[in-house]
């Protein structure tokens, strides 16, 4: 393998590790945090982080896709290449779906959320799988050891997996030890004040 080829593969690996192996998972963890937040400002910050990390990831994927289509074989004859090229398409579709989301009050919002969640989670899982198959392709092509990278990536994914599962359980953990009926209550005041309603609607993403 010539030095130039090696350089291309390292750039390719780096771009996809950062985008699909890091930014997309972080963006998903962040938007999942907003589910527990009632206050508008925090929800907006989580939304902003989700949208920014995902759009940044798509920019890096675009750069990586252009480079790989220009410099690699375009043969798509192994698992890594096939999953990879499918992911290029799915990531764009997903970002487009995020940008074209209906408002929270719209009837279509539930269907949109379901589609965005299914496709987003697919991209998330397939992206992680393809970083592993990419590392194997790197070993095949260069005969260099990938063990440290596999260990490092696995450690990162274990942390992300733990946080993902922990998010589901955090509210339940907090409720432990609270006697039923003694939970702190909040009083919700209905309002027809237009100013408050407009502000509330602005808080939603």
Binding residues (CB under 6 A) for ligand HEM: these are 9, 12-13, 16-17, 20, 24, 28, 31-32, 47, 50-51, 54-55, 57-58, 68-69, 72-75, 78, 80-81, 84-85, 87, 91, 94-95, 98-99, 101, 113, 116-117, 120-121, 123-124, 127, 130-131, 134-135, 137-138, 141, 205
Q: Which is nearer to ligand HEM, 98 or 160 (CB)?
A: 98
The dihedral region occupied by 76, where left means phi > 0, alpha psi between -120 and 50, and beta the remainder, is left
CB of 174 vs ligand HEM, minimal distance in Å: 19
Cα separation, 147 vs 129, whole angstroms:
16
Cα separation, 158 vs 180, whole angstroms:
35
Q: Which is nearer to ligand HEM, 73 or 182 (CB)?
A: 73
CB of 13 vs ligand HEM, minimal distance in Å: 3
Q: Which is nearer to ligand HEM, 124 or 160 (CB)?
A: 124
Which residues touch 106 (CB under 8 Å, ≥6 apart)?
112
Q: Which is nearer to ligand HEM, 109 or 175 (CB)?
A: 109
Which residues touch 141 (CB under 8 Å, ≥6 apart)?
1, 5, 9
Q: What does the block give as tokens for 197? A: 């309603």
CB of 44 vs ligand HEM, minimal distance in Å: 10
Q: What does the block give as tokens for 23? A: 């930014």
CB of 171 vs ligand HEM, minimal distance in Å: 14
Q: Which is nearer to ligand HEM, 74 or 174 (CB)?
A: 74
Residue with tokens 């527990």: 36
Cα separation, 157 vs 21, whole angstroms:
8
């Amino acid at each position: 393998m010539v030095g130039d080829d090696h350089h291309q593969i390292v750039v390719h690996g780096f771009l996809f590790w950062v985008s699909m192996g890091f930014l997309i998972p972080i963006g998903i963890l962040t938007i999942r945090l907003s589910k527990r937040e009632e206050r508008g400002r925090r929800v907006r910050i989580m939304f902003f982080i989700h949208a920014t990390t995902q759009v940044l990831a798509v920019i890096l994927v675009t750069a990586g896709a252009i480079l790989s289509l220009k410099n690699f074989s375009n043969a798509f004859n192994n698992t890594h290449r096939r999953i990879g090229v499918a992911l290029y398409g799915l990531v764009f579709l997903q970002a487009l779906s995020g940008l074209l989301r209906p408002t929270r009050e719209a009837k279509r919002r539930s269907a949109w959320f379901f589609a965005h969640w299914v496709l987003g989670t697919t991209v998330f899982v397939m992206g992680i799988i393809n970083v592993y198959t990419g590392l194997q392709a790197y070993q095949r092509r260069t005969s260099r050891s990938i063990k440290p990278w596999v260990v490092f990536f696995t450690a990162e994914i274990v942390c992300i997996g733990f946080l993902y599962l922990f998010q589901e359980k955090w509210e339940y953990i907090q409720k432990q030890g609270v006697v039923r009926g003694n939970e702190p209550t909040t009083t919700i005041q209905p309002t027809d004040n237009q100013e408050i309603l407009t502000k509330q609607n602005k808080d939603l993403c």
